[in-house]
Structure 1
Amino acid sequence: MLDWSLSPQPIVGAPMAGTGTPALAAAISNAGGFGLFPGGYLSGDKLTEGIARVWELTDRPFGVNLFVPTPVDEQRDAGLLRSYAEALAPVAQSAGVQLPEPRWDGSDDFAEKVAVLEQARVALVSFIFGPPPVDAVQRLHAAGSTILATVTDAAEAQAAAAAGADLLCLQGTDAGGHRGTHRHDAEPNTSGWRELLPAVLAVTDLPVVVAGGIMAAGDVSDALARGAVAVQCGSAFLLTDECGMTDAYRAGFTAPELTEQVVTRAFSGRPARAVRNEFVARFDPVAVPVYPIVNQLTKPVRAAGAATGNRELVSLWAGTGWRQARPGPAADVVAALAADLH
């Protein structure tokens, strides 16, 4: 199991798919935290390239995150998806893009990426969107990797422990981006990690990392005082030099007039916390729980928004403390978060 003493600061960089970069993961590890490189949405080859790049930038331990495969049911959900596509069509046309034909596959190339990680032998592999498959856990344990599983309540913590996880990431409702709920079609709870932690600690002896709204040194010291072994932070790093934020995302994330947040299925079919923009306002009321097919459907629209700098068409993932994020090197964020610990 990973020796946490190799990471002087109990600060894990959240694996932000689409935004996290090898440079960000490496910078967090180099600063004494623990960087996680996001493997979600990547092919096996792209994951291999990303891991190699992290290793070029750091000799410190780091990890990789994978999405647990999501069962899909075309017969059940095709009608829902069709209705959502019809609603999206005018926006796609206005953006100059075509909506793709659905690919009913929820695997996210999981098997290929587990095989990559068996060879890569990274210090830690984290999982989100379900308990890690037992076979994958056994194979990655044999390769020497520690297994971290994302959970959002005590029942999910028990399922992750039963699957063989070595430690847990307890994600509260304040976290930005996708909720880590084990069922994509379930409504996520609205509890923060402070409310959830006692129940999780009561049902498992596994070490717990907490996530959701961790933006300042006081949040970190509070988490450790409550029994967490570390914190996981994402939004705190979004404006850093090493992050892969698009101009459109940055414009929406920092816009003073955008003040509301919502947990929405509008972009992917899975609940995710975002700053409310025109896309959310229009499509959240009619969004359907068909993940990851909705993510495929909206991808060309989001890509058009990113290419043209249009903040109203992209997913503005953000935790509740997003206004506290500051630009600069990721190392400065790690130092600020750890300021009360020594």
Structure 2
Amino acid sequence: MVDLVKRLNLSVPVVLAPMAGGVGTPALAAAVSAAGGLGSLGAAYLTPAQIEEHVADVRRRTERPLAVNLFAPQPVPAVTPAQVRASTAELGPFHAALHLPPPTLPERVQEDFGAQFAAVLRARPAVVSFAFGRLDHAHMEALRAAGLLTVGTATSVPEAVELERDGVDAVVLQGGAAGGHRGGWRQDDLADTVLLVRAAVATVGVPVIAAGGLMTAADVRAVLDAGAALAQCGTAFLLADEAGTSAPYREALRGDADTILTTAFSGRPARGLRNALSEAVHSPLPYPHQNALTRPLRVAGAAAGRADMLSLWAGTGYRHAQAAPAAHLLQSLTP
């Protein structure tokens, strides 16, 4: 079994969750790595050139190890004209409120995974993590040949078992309290994080990285005591000085809205703060179509200061988030 702390020379057993969509900036990843944790870049929405640029940006700031995260490739489902009409009709009033053209589904709905993967191999981060599924044998062999650690994402023990069989070096076990997209693909137990870690540690032989609802040093200690090798924290860093969290998003995190699982923004289940858009959408297109369809609205909503139109990803413990430099936040998570 790989000793992740020793292999990555970590002084703090905390991984920054790979937050895509502009929140997880190179500055944030570098700050966490430089302070002794493992910084991560959420690269799923980046072009190949952007992936290499962001990794280079991190390396200008620190020589410490870095993880890069991609979404595992999966078939793009077909959608019918009727589905598109229903989804665009729900978004129409929000577009009108911002004086945007009516919503339309772009021809290209996601980045080319093969090109992204090649860019990651060129960039050579210490760790490559992935979510939404499994990588095929050729991808896994390429990562091994490059000497990169591989980390898959599971939301249940059966998924963790499949990832172990694929040869990953470690598995992120994502409990139900986690913010953002659910990272599994087959069976999501929405389980308590500590209980899920205990079950996984008893079943798989690779290191387990715990994720979901970890906002304090006591939370981190609890998952380490349950057998996790590392704790992965994302919501705890949403208000970090270095994070790309927009002003309306930051303001919403200081409120008291409930978190919900919603498919309204991307077509995949994700946990975030309840808002007007999550309540209005009842006919989302499957991922990645809905994600592409709502992107212009989310970009314009952030610029207009409209939190009611944003995907406000956050875990259940978001009320404990603090505004501070990332190094300070990492220290506050150190058990």
**TM-score under structure 1 normalisation?**
0.92
The residue aligned with 1:90 is 93
Matches within 5 A, 1:199-278: 199-255=199-255, 258-278=256-276
The residue aligned with 1:135 is 138
The residue aligned with 2:75 is 71
Counterpart contact for 1:270–1:289, Cα < 8 Å: no
Deviations 1:270-293 (Å, cap 9, x if unpaired)?
Answer: 10001111111222xx14350010
**1:55 CA drift (Å):** 0.4
| Matched residue SS, 2:205 | coil
The AA in structure 2 aligned to 1:325 is A
Match of 2:291 among 295, 301, 307: 295
| Matched residue SS, 2:200 | helix
The AA in structure 1 aligned to 2:164 is A
The residue aligned with 1:336 is 332
Whether 2:195 is the aligned partner of 1:195: answer: yes
Distance 1:70 1:177, change over 3 A: same
Counterpart contact for 2:90–2:280, Cα < 8 Å: no
Unpaired runs of at least 5, structure 2:
none
Counterpart contact for 1:11–1:233, Cα < 8 Å: yes
The AA in structure 1 aligned to 2:222 is D
Once residues 141 and 285 of structure 2 are traced to their aligned partners in structure 1, the CA distance between those partners, rounded to angstroms, is: 31
Deviates more, 1:83-92 or 1:242-251: 83-92
**Pairs aligned (count):** 330
The AA in structure 1 aligned to 2:203 is V
Counterpart contact for 1:7–1:32, Cα < 8 Å: yes
Once residues 235 and 245 of structure 2 are traced to their aligned partners in structure 1, the CA distance between those partners, rounded to angstroms, is: 11
**1:199 CA drift (Å):** 2.7
Whether 2:63 is the aligned partner of 1:31: answer: no
Once residues 133 and 141 of structure 1 are traced to their aligned partners in structure 2, the CA distance between those partners, rounded to angstroms, is: 13
Counterpart contact for 1:2–1:124, Cα < 8 Å: no
The AA in structure 2 aligned to 1:170 is L
The AA in structure 2 aligned to 1:144 is G
Once residues 217 and 229 of structure 1 are traced to their aligned partners in structure 2, the CA distance between those partners, rounded to angstroms, is: 15
The AA in structure 1 aligned to 2:315 is G
Once residues 78 and 149 of structure 1 are traced to their aligned partners in structure 2, the CA distance between those partners, rounded to angstroms, is: 35
**1:90 CA drift (Å):** 2.2
Deviations 1:181-214 (Å, cap 9, x if unpaired)?
Answer: 215xx7x433122222233223310100000000
The AA in structure 1 aligned to 2:57 is R
The AA in structure 1 aligned to 2:199 is A
| Matched residue SS, 1:209 | strand
**1:82 CA drift (Å):** 2.9
Once residues 263 and 61 of structure 1 are traced to their aligned partners in structure 2, the CA distance between those partners, rounded to angstroms, is: 32
Unpaired runs of at least 5, structure 1:
none
| Matched residue SS, 2:221 | helix
Whether 2:61 is the aligned partner of 1:80: answer: no
Whether 2:13 is the aligned partner of 1:17: answer: no
Counterpart contact for 2:237–2:326, Cα < 8 Å: yes
| Matched residue SS, 2:32 | helix
Counterpart contact for 1:238–1:325, Cα < 8 Å: yes
The residue aligned with 2:119 is 116
The residue aligned with 1:315 is 311
**1:78 CA drift (Å):** 4.9
**1:80 CA drift (Å):** 2.8
**1:303 CA drift (Å):** 1.1
Once residues 179 and 3 of structure 2 are traced to their aligned partners in structure 1, the CA distance between those partners, rounded to angstroms, is: 26
Once residues 222 and 130 of structure 2 are traced to their aligned partners in structure 1, the CA distance between those partners, rounded to angstroms, is: 25
Distance 1:289 1:229, change over 3 A: farther
The residue aligned with 2:57 is 53
Counterpart contact for 2:109–2:292, Cα < 8 Å: no
| Matched residue SS, 1:33 | coil
The AA in structure 2 aligned to 1:272 is A
Once residues 134 and 79 of structure 1 are traced to their aligned partners in structure 2, the CA distance between those partners, rounded to angstroms, is: 38
Once residues 82 and 152 of structure 1 are traced to their aligned partners in structure 2, the CA distance between those partners, rounded to angstroms, is: 33
| Matched residue SS, 2:41 | strand
Matches within 5 A, 1:139-218: 139-183=142-186, 188-218=188-218
Once residues 228 and 208 of structure 2 are traced to their aligned partners in structure 1, the CA distance between those partners, rounded to angstroms, is: 5
| Matched residue SS, 2:202 | helix
**1:103 CA drift (Å):** 3.2
| Matched residue SS, 1:231 | strand
RMSD (Å) for aligned C-alpha atoms: 1.7
Counterpart contact for 1:168–1:208, Cα < 8 Å: yes
The AA in structure 1 aligned to 2:61 is L
Counterpart contact for 1:269–1:287, Cα < 8 Å: no
**1:308 CA drift (Å):** 0.6
Once residues 102 and 203 of structure 1 are traced to their aligned partners in structure 2, the CA distance between those partners, rounded to angstroms, is: 43
| Matched residue SS, 1:74 | coil
